[in-house]
Chain A
């Protein structure tokens, strides 16, 4: 009796597994011609961001940027469909980010995902999204090789709209050496993929150009006391200090440097890009500071002006670079949805061949790395205000 039940149960299981296997087969082939369903009247887009936890600041701003993009799309009169953003919090943890992606794809059936903000979380989601044939557009996964599998080929469904960390490091090295005339530097970087990646690329290019690195110091994310660092380097004969880290710590470093009365140029990367950076340093001391970025509000285009106005109206502050990148990432996904009218592999194909013009630059994708080909901007802070922009092409 018992055996019989087990046998029939096993048979049912087997059959259902086979049926499921068959129905899944075409999808998993990833055939570009047939891979993708038509879009309905409402298209769901996943917004997978760090809304709590230590990196919540980036995630929240990116969520805001994405929300503006969706609102603007839905407000269009000629919209081909209505977009519904499905928000989810990944708490800044890679494991949570995977869970969040799973939920978005399996349960909410989103057509594509924007986010997460941080590289670690983004990378964690690429494998699953690629297996499920749902494109992920990461706004700010700047880590070197973030979109690549261990074998060096790109995850087919993973894209990003930012340049790589190393790209910024190289760009600043060229600008510092050739334009600012800095020949000797002290480097301080955060111990993280970001800090290490940016500073390593900077150092390599700077030394290659003929520059000299006099001191290298590392710090941990969350450190606040940099008086000891400044006391250590103040007697060295450097022309500039390269700070590779995010704005909270970078602001404390800059404050400590300025408090010691050192007025050499401070150069850095897009981690500086935040009003919080200027507030903490205080505007009147924020001078002679240069950093690379993907976004600036100086001489804004019409689209950017509108984005800034809408963002300000909704959140009561100016958008940061993270909000801008996320706005672009969302718009890129929406544009691809609109041109292809499909989900899955067709949508992905549309992203692959996109010619996108956004507020952080116009670009197409490098087909081997799934990373945009765009220029690095170097901005200067004068009394806490971004004042001069220079576009640096990095080879």
Chain B
């Protein structure tokens, strides 16, 4: 039993990361119906940014996290302006292919400039862990949970309580209608990219710290899994991304613990297939008004 609970904790910390990345997918999809395949690479850039500011500028955790979020947010907006905006009226498949192209550009640019080896983080967080009942939670796991929860609460607040959030919901529901109401669609879309990318940047830094490493292709697999998480939760739905991310993290961990570790990735995709067959809209997919 204690082992089971420990595995749940392991799964939740993994899942928190997926959830943060999945939010970016879901927000962007919600607003312009684009699956932004470059999102996983923004997460990678986050990990590298954190590596730089902590190693060379000696920043501590919180400032580094903020820098990561700002850098990734700006990068996200830049990508949107350069690559996706000119294609907004183009068929959806065009934008999708462009997204894949952008993803490769980022990956190989990083490989070119940063080299192919893994960059190792300095030790930033203490090696403490707490024994809570039967489970052991390490400092970094605690940090991951805390940051994820804080960001989720903040995001929910932005979306539901602020003017920008209302604009985002409006554009998501009806772009032309929103325009008629005097909402600047372009700015709203940019802000969506900004927030989504900033979250990915935070996730990148957390992962970098958790595994104390960053590499140019690190975003590919987590990016895909986060995408699966977003679809699982109902793409376009914010609570869906959270639940989807946590679910995928726990499912993966349980497969390693009680099944065969060989199938950990396969399980993730099998879940995706089942969800698409049984409930194509995803867990929370029906709630149209929640879309952002």
A interface residues with partner B (beta carbon < 8 Å): 52, 54, 56-57, 60, 191, 217-220, 222-225, 227-229, 231-232, 235, 248, 251-252, 255, 259, 276, 279-280, 282
Contacts and interface: CB of A to CB of B under 8 A. Distances in A.
Given A57-B116, A282-B123, A224 B261 contact: no
A180 B256 CA distance: 29
A54 B107 CA distance: 11
Contacts of A229: 256, 261
Nearest to A248: B118
A228 B138 contact: no
A188 to B, nearest CB: 8
Nearest to B210: A224
B98 interface: no
A228 B11 contact: yes
B14 interface: yes
A330 B264 CA distance: 41
Contacts of A217: 256, 261
Contacts of A252: 211, 213
B274 to A, nearest CB: 21
16 contacts: A57-B117, A191-B262, A218-B261, A219-B262, A220-B262, A225-B14, A228-B10, A229-B256, A231-B257, A248-B118, A252-B211, A276-B120, A280-B120, A280-B211, A280-B212, A282-B123
Interface in B194-232: 207, 211-213, 215, 217, 220-221
Contacts of B127: 259
B6 A223 contact: no
B260 A218 contact: yes
A287 to B, nearest CB: 15
Interface string B136-162: 001000000000000000000000000
A228 B111 contact: no
Contacts of B6: 231
Contacts, number: 77
Interface in B80-116: 108, 111, 115-116
A54 B120 contact: no
B214 to A, nearest CB: 11
Given A222-B221, A225-B10, A232 B120 contact: no
A220 B3 contact: no
Contacts of B262: 191, 218-220
B253 interface: yes
Contacts of B212: 255, 280, 282
Given A191-B262, A232-B256, A248-B213, A52 B108 contact: yes
Contacts of A191: 262
Given A57-B118, A60-B116, 14 more contacts: A52-B116, A57-B116, A191-B262, A220-B264, A220-B265, A223-B264, A228-B256, A228-B257, A232-B257, A248-B213, A251-B213, A252-B211, A255-B212, A276-B118
B213 A228 contact: no
A111 B211 CA distance: 44
Contacts of A57: 116-118
Contacts of A54: 217
Contacts of A227: 10, 13, 253
Contacts of B117: 57, 276
B3 A232 contact: yes
A219 B260 CA distance: 9
Given A52-B108, A228-B11, A228-B253, A235 B3 contact: yes
Contacts of B115: 60
B217 A231 contact: no
Give the top 9 A-B pairs by smallest Cβ distance, nearest first.
A56-B116, A279-B120, A228-B256, A227-B10, A228-B253, A57-B116, A218-B262, A231-B6, A228-B10
A60 B117 CA distance: 9
Given A248-B215, A280-B213, A225 B253 contact: yes
Interface in B245-263: 252-253, 256-257, 260-262
Nearest to B10: A227
Contacts of A52: 108, 111, 116
Contacts of A280: 118, 120, 211-213
Contacts of A228: 7, 10-11, 252-253, 256-257
A179 to B, nearest CB: 30
B3 A231 contact: yes
A219 B111 CA distance: 25
Contacts of B138: 259
Contacts of A223: 264
Contacts of B215: 248
A146 B213 CA distance: 32
A224 B118 contact: no
A251 B129 CA distance: 20
A161 to B, nearest CB: 22
Given A54-B217, A220-B264, A224-B211, A231 B10 contact: yes
A279 B252 CA distance: 27
B60 to A, nearest CB: 19
Contacts of B261: 217-219, 229
A179 B11 CA distance: 38
B156 to A, nearest CB: 27
A218 B14 CA distance: 19
Contacts of B13: 227
B152 to A, nearest CB: 21
A141 to B, nearest CB: 19
A219 B217 CA distance: 18
A90 to B, nearest CB: 14
Nearest to B215: A248
A340 B38 CA distance: 53
A255 B265 CA distance: 22
Looking at B111, B120, B129, which has the most chain A CB atoms within 10 Å of its CB? B120
Looking at B108, B220, B221, which has the most chain A CB atoms within 10 Å of its CB? B221
A56 B257 contact: no
